[in-house]
Structure 1
Amino acid sequence: MRTFVPAVAAAAVATLCMSGFAMAADAKVTVGCTATTDCASAAIAVEDGIFKKNGLDVQLILIGLNSNIPAALLSNSIQIGGPTPSVFLQAVDGGLDLVVVSGASSTADSTAEAAGVVVAKGSSIKTAEDFIGKKVGAPGIGAFLQVLFVKWLMDNGVDPKQVNFVEVTFPTMNDVLKSGAVDAVVSADPIMSRIISSGTGTAAAYFLKSLPEKRPQILYAGSRDWADANPDTVVAFRKSIAEASTVVNGQPDKAKAAISRFTKISLDVLSSMKVAVADPNLTPEELGWWVDVMDKQGMLQSKPDVAKLIQK
């Protein structure tokens, strides 16, 4: 027995060593996204076990406001979040050391009617110039949709300072437009479709149609400190998102089902919506487009070096 026990123990140690990778705990990552189809790639990667296959234990949590994501990243309550480019760049401009770890979604002609500016039914507002002097509700001043609507106004020769913007949450848009509290709302599906189908308003312009394709709508970001300290996790996350993006783009109904379970938005509501194009690749030039747009609107104090904002 005295010679047998050490032999057994040695064999057990050897087995443990040889299976070290298999027995290693998956890296734990909490990912925060808002209720949007733009994070469908993360939802699919969780449900299909893609993260798990690549050595990640990912928890996907719902964030109420996109503007809350940078603070959540810095506090480490989430390690990766899905901010809009405008929220991300304003946070960086304000001194937060954040980096992009992967692309999430991008603009495309196929989803250009997923957002727009809706006016009250019977309104005389037809053109960009007609918005001068009018009150327009937007889901956040400086938010993704408001920034792009302002770009549309400027592209059509209208000074956005001549338009009165007020913040209106998505759930209250139908009511404030119906009551006449605002002349128009900058909205997106599924809320926009509900406003139109209820007869409260009509779409005056789908301003996303004027945008070039492959410009980021949502990106996956983390703090630079966390990304630098966890390079293998970043690589595994990026690989997982790329694989899941193929599923999202090839099987939109499956993506809607995953988003429905994550956001708790009824699948009946999501069924008529276009799923945002999943795009895991993000170049400095594509992010730089947003810098130029925001700079023209006086939203940035300085122009960042976008190449340094994308984690290698």
Structure 2
Amino acid sequence: MTKFLAAATLAAALVASPACAQTKIQIGCTATTDCASAMVAVDEGIFRKHGLDAEMVLIGINSNIPAAIVSNSIQIGGPTSTVFLQAADGGLDLVAVAGASVMNPSSNANIAAFVRNGITIKEPKDFVGKKVGAPGLGAFLHVLFVKWLVEKGVDPRSVNFVEVTFPTMADIIKSGGVDVVLTAEPFITRMTNAGLGTIGARYGAELARTEPIIFYAAARDWAEKNPDTIKKFRAAIAEGADIVNSDRDKASASIAKFTKQSIELVKASPPNRSEPALKAEQLAWWIDIMSSQKMLQTKVDLNKLMLN
């Protein structure tokens, strides 16, 4: 009887183990709300339900994400549309696997150029000669701000851009290391409440675009070798996006945990809208903008950059 029970237990374990096996992946994003669908999918056990042991990895500068993907430090990352296109233009073999966030009136209102105390910005030309910190040169907030400057008749070359990570913006503004930072919520509220400065321009709202902000990308070779993992990832992200867009409390809790911001601060503004669907034509506007800013050296084939 004992031998029978042991054999039965072993057989059950052998049958159950494939179903219980978890494929481990690491997902890299910066400290913003844009990857909230992945954050929620981790915290709510959605990835595990789909057979993935997923871990979120905090990346300081968005422009570092493509290199992290290629080096396999992470398997999937959340680069901004601009960082992704510039990396592809530079020869990195990356593919987009799912959408993360898109611009909309709510998220656009959460974007601003925050100006430190002692600096006066009343109109676009006042940014001339200023030292402006961006969370990645060539990243979303930087390219969008350059587009705004051009539309306002200001030469972007007259502005001194430097890279500043989101978590360090408050300290650098306070110390006077930069005059302005290009940032978003909840960092705007955090710095405003701390009395570190004022909003110089809500350039995102003025541009009023609806294109993707961030999407999930992987190395082509890895993605093509792991189609089942990609399928499971997409399914989990779709569920996570539904929660982000409908359950403010759960979304805020996951964002606060990953970005290391207080829950009260995160709840002060809604997260960027999560949109798991992604189409090649949605990136066409970004390509036009980046080409006009001479950020792309080749003709990018959008269809090759999208994983079917």
Query: Partner residue of 1:302?
Result: 298
Shift of residue 199, structure 1, vs aligned partner = 2.9
Aligned: 1:198 with 2:194: yes
Residues 181 and 258 of structure 1, relative CA distance in 2, 3 Å threshold:
closer
Shift of residue 28, structure 1, vs aligned partner = 2.2
Instruction: Report matched runs for 1:106-255 at 5 Å.
Output: 106-121=102-117, 123-174=119-170, 176-177=172-173, 182-255=178-251
Residues 264 and 177 of structure 1, relative CA distance in 2, 3 Å threshold:
closer
5+ long unaligned stretches in structure 2? none
Query: Partner residue of 1:105?
Result: 101
User: Can you list the C-alpha shifts for 1:1-39, whole angstroms capped at 9, x where unaligned?
Assistant: xxxx9xxx89x97x889x579636232222122211111
RMSD: 2.8
Query: Partner residue of 2:289?
Result: 293
Cα distance between partner residues in 2 of 1:295 and 1:310: 20
Structure 1 length as normaliser, TM-score?
0.87
Query: Partner residue of 2:89?
Result: 93
User: Can you list the C-alpha shifts for 1:21-68, whole angstroms capped at 9, x where unaligned?
Assistant: 963623222212221111111111122222222222222222222222
Q: Secondary structure at the residue paired with 2:55?
A: strand
Cα distance between partner residues in 1 of 2:52 and 2:103: 28
- Indicate the percent of aligned positions where both proteins have the same amino acid: 53
Shift of residue 185, structure 1, vs aligned partner = 2.6
Residues 213 and 239 of structure 1, relative CA distance in 2, 3 Å threshold:
farther
Cα distance between partner residues in 2 of 1:72 and 1:301: 22
Residues 122 and 113 of structure 1, relative CA distance in 2, 3 Å threshold:
farther
User: 2:82 is aligned with what amino acid?
Assistant: S
Shift of residue 118, structure 1, vs aligned partner = 2.1
Shift of residue 220, structure 1, vs aligned partner = 0.4
Do the aligned partners of 1:295 and 1:303 also contact (CA within 8 Å) in 2?
no
Do the aligned partners of 1:107 and 1:211 also contact (CA within 8 Å) in 2?
no
Do the aligned partners of 2:28 and 2:58 also contact (CA within 8 Å) in 1?
yes
Residues 63 and 168 of structure 1, relative CA distance in 2, 3 Å threshold:
closer
Do the aligned partners of 1:120 and 1:177 also contact (CA within 8 Å) in 2?
yes
Aligned: 1:284 with 2:263: no
Q: Secondary structure at the residue paired with 2:34?
A: helix
User: Can you list the C-alpha shifts for 1:117-151, whole angstroms capped at 9, x where unaligned?
Assistant: 12345754222123233333333322221111111
Cα distance between partner residues in 2 of 1:217 and 1:301: 22
Which protein has the larger Cα radius of gyration, Structure 1 or Structure 2?
1
Equivalences, count? 305
Cα distance between partner residues in 1 of 2:19 and 2:176: 62
